[in-house]
Structure 1
Amino acid sequence: MSEDSDEEFNQAIQASLEDQIGAGCTENVPVTKLLNDLAAQINVNATSKFNINRSAVLDGTIRGFKRSSYNPRHRISVTFSDDSGNTEEAIDLGGPRREFLRLLMQALKQSSMFEGAEESQNLALDSQALREDRYFIAGRAIAISLVHGGPAPGFLSSTLFSCLSGSPETAKPTLDDVADIELRGKIKRILESATMTELNSAIEPLLDYLTNCGCLRAMKTVNDKEMLLEDILMFQVINRVRGPFERFCEGMKTLGVLEQLQQHPDAFCPLLCHKTRQLTADILDNLFQIQFSESGSNRRMAENNVTAYWRDYLQDAEDEEGPTKLGKILTFATGASEIPPIGFSPQPSIEFLHDEQTVFNSSHGVSAARFPMANTCVNCLRIPLHSAYEAFKTNMDFAIANTQGFGMQ
């Protein structure tokens, strides 16, 4: 082979290696941009309607997804009903949709389709859910929430996420992934066995289980427990729920979410797994754009005073209950208890309730100008003008504690 041929050959090898390395890398693209690109598919002039009872959110979601006219690329329109079956006044233009998706993520987390620690859950095996194709619904619900401006689930285990972003065959489940406490204790005995006598004693209560899951084998040395443990964990956490997982993945393909997740796992991991970032008073203060009156006017002077109250109120909320109360304030204003991964549209704003804007709230028998009002459709919080902070705080607390139906437009 000539020198030129050698050089061309070496260049070809280098190019091949670079292609392989590049195939395994992902660009550092903000997840907000990825989700907004996916959201460009949504046709805002067409709607898919959901009729939701807050006490049975998942059932209403399933009916909506299974409706023949449903299209994930259509804007979501939600009508909530009360316990008596009466339709509430709020028809979705944004706020009810965000509330619906927030409640839906909570319902999924509490459903029989997931099991494990509260913030680190894996798929559970539920034959009825599998028969009714609810795992597909669960995957689709997460994809829809991410793209339609709802919250991220934030409760999937790192093991389940690695299965979604890569392959179940390469997953490395741990003992913490085993939700069955009794089974976890028995597996732990195998893990802690230091002698063959201890190992055989630990295996004996699991003989039927090991036979059924195809993991039973003769143990020749204590070190053989490592492969046994790996097989048990792979069966219990991964292979046992392979059917549900495949349907869950099909649902996650909705609107191209799974494909983007697999291309940008680092961007999506904080959304699907437990999040560490929590609301703070500063984050909430910076989120809302304050709509002031003309500078120098009497209105502006009153608004400046109450703006200081508003910021003190956020700080007090953080000091008293932390992110929990701040989330309630955000829910009151927008219908979302956290900032959606895709962001808010329009951006949340604050307006002020002046005397001439007083409205009598017949359902509570009080002047609405004493209390905040929210238009969750446009993410607008209208706060009352008070001359004393304690009155401002008391009335804000009352309205937010009675969020459902109070002061909503």
Structure 2
Amino acid sequence: LLDFFVSTFRSETSPRTLPVKDILEELSQKIDTGMHCKFNINRSKVLDGAMRGFKRVTYNPHFSMNVKFSDDFGKNEEAVDLGGPRREFLRILIDALAMSLMFEGPDESKNLAMNSTALREDKYFMAGRAIAVSLVHGGPAPRFLSPVLFACLVGGPAAACPTLKDITDADLHEKLQMVSESSTLEELQRATDPLLDYMASAGCIRLLTTISDRDLLMHDLLMFHVVHRVQGPFQRFEEGLKTLGVLDVVKQHPDSFRTLFCHEPQPLTADMMDDLFTPRLAPKGSNRRSVEETVIPLWRDYLQDAEDEEGSSKLQNILVFATGANEIPPIGFIPAPSIEFLHEGSEESSSKLMLPMANTCINCLKLPLLTTYEVFKENMDFALWNTQGFGRT
């Protein structure tokens, strides 16, 4: 009986780990698909285009996004956004954020950097807003934030526990390592001599009387450099993440969101891709159905060969070709990805029947009706490596 009451108490008081897809779907219900905000984007300057779009007076994160790309020569591309361009925009936007001067550190564990220009232009707010919008509007998760930065978002700066790994400045890292490796008071005092100016800026000047002072000094210096020094950027980044209620649900369900914000390998596999795309087959017994069924094994072999030869990277390229996204969005695909077949007499030009095509707006991959695997593989590869934009061959 006691065990029953204990388990009941725990179930009523412990926060549930809800599926993140369900949480994001609930947030997405507030999006008004009848209203649109326009983004005019050049792929080579995606951050500039995003800033213009987010700063536009009429921008509303609750409206659907209409994204139109232009190539580097200024010509309008054909794609007007019904889904695919939006996914590609959010994908390259998240990639651009990770590479921007607003973040520093290894590719898979980045902290906020102090950049006065980005702070003055309020780009940290835009970065937070971009991540929130991506999660709710069907884009990718960031997956590049450090555990320290995520802890700050969930529990505030006091929850952070930075380590030497979070120091990207090589000179400072070397000096702090000397402090951390000091084993006597004399070594500690020698190690801190080159840091006196930095310690003064950090408010860490103090009398060192025992070797035990080392650990507290290290903690204070690490907290200053990684957390307190970037409080201005952090506050604006945090404010941006409040868009569409994302930061609130992150704080309520940190275990659900941790893998979306911090790096955790999410490799695509051939089986995942096979399950993701549903073939739209002709009625049973028809001639079309018979031909289509001969192509499905070629498609599955192509996926398996892609995984065996190049791993997840080639499967990502296939997904980009078909949907504009290089990963399965945390909120899922809408509509679900499908496979159709390029029969003679279809609307597509007969000159293209031997090459795959895609409609990223509806996440539809159209496969050529080929019976020889070598030709199928060659044509698939040719389309993947020579297509510009949204899966057009």
TM tier relative to shorter chain: over 0.9
Counterparts of 1:171 and 1:22, CA distance in 2: 28
Shift of 1:185: 1.3
1:331 equivalenced with 2:313 (yes/no): no
- The one-letter code matched in structure 1 to 2:226 is V
Residue 150 of structure 1, aligned match among 133, 139, 152: 139
| CA distance 1:38–1:312, shift in 2 (3 Å) | same
CA RMSD of aligned residues (A): 1.8
Counterpart for residue 296 of structure 1: 285
2:245 is paired with a residue whose SS is helix
Give the structure with higher Rg (CA).
Answer: 1
Counterpart for residue 100 of structure 1: 89
Q: Contact conserved, 2:39 with 2:50, CA < 8 A, in 1?
A: yes
1:268 is paired with a residue whose SS is helix
Counterparts of 2:57 and 2:322, CA distance in 1: 33
| CA distance 1:22–1:243, shift in 2 (3 Å) | farther
1:144-186 Cα offsets, whole Å, 9 max, x none, are 0000000000000000000001111121111111111221111
Counterpart for residue 368 of structure 2: 384
Q: Contact conserved, 2:113 with 2:230, CA < 8 A, in 1?
A: yes
- The one-letter code matched in structure 2 to 1:106 is D
The number of aligned residues is 387
Name structure 1 gaps, 5 residues minimum.
1-16, 362-366
| CA distance 1:46–1:124, shift in 2 (3 Å) | same
Q: TM-score w.r.t. structure 1 length?
A: 0.92
1:31-60 Cα offsets, whole Å, 9 max, x none, are 000000000010000000000000000100
Counterpart for residue 77 of structure 1: 66
1:45 is paired with a residue whose SS is strand
Shift of 1:215: 1.0
Shift of 1:360: 3.9
Counterpart for residue 384 of structure 2: 400
Q: Contact conserved, 2:79 with 2:390, CA < 8 A, in 1?
A: no
Residue 56 of structure 2, aligned match among 56, 67, 71: 67
Counterpart for residue 185 of structure 2: 196
1:241-273 Cα offsets, whole Å, 9 max, x none, are 001000001000000000000000000000011
Counterpart for residue 345 of structure 2: 356
- The one-letter code matched in structure 2 to 1:252 is L
2:336 is paired with a residue whose SS is coil
1:103-182, aligned counterparts within 5 Å?
Answer: 103-182=92-171
| CA distance 1:246–1:46, shift in 2 (3 Å) | same
Counterpart for residue 302 of structure 2: 313
Q: Contact conserved, 1:142 with 1:152, CA < 8 A, in 2?
A: yes
1:279 equivalenced with 2:268 (yes/no): yes
Q: Contact conserved, 2:360 with 2:391, CA < 8 A, in 1?
A: no
Counterparts of 1:265 and 1:406, CA distance in 2: 34
Counterparts of 2:319 and 2:205, CA distance in 1: 53
Shift of 1:23: 9.7
Shift of 1:197: 2.2
Counterparts of 2:338 and 2:280, CA distance in 1: 7
Counterparts of 1:24 and 1:163, CA distance in 2: 23
Counterpart for residue 217 of structure 2: 228
1:373 equivalenced with 2:373 (yes/no): no
Counterpart for residue 311 of structure 2: 322
Name structure 2 gaps, 5 residues minimum.
1-5
2:197 is paired with a residue whose SS is helix
Q: Contact conserved, 1:190 with 1:202, CA < 8 A, in 2?
A: yes
Counterpart for residue 3 of structure 2: none
- The one-letter code matched in structure 2 to 1:202 is A
Q: Contact conserved, 1:196 with 1:221, CA < 8 A, in 2?
A: yes
Shift of 1:195: 1.5
- The one-letter code matched in structure 1 to 2:354 is R
| % identity of equivalent residues | 57
Shift of 1:25: 3.5
Counterpart for residue 228 of structure 2: 239
Counterparts of 1:213 and 1:383, CA distance in 2: 61
| CA distance 1:233–1:318, shift in 2 (3 Å) | same
Q: Contact conserved, 1:358 with 1:369, CA < 8 A, in 2?
A: no
1:338-384 Cα offsets, whole Å, 9 max, x none, are 000000000000001112237449xxxxx211110000000000000
Counterpart for residue 37 of structure 1: 26
Counterparts of 1:23 and 1:214, CA distance in 2: 44
Counterparts of 2:295 and 2:384, CA distance in 1: 17
Counterparts of 1:188 and 1:23, CA distance in 2: 46
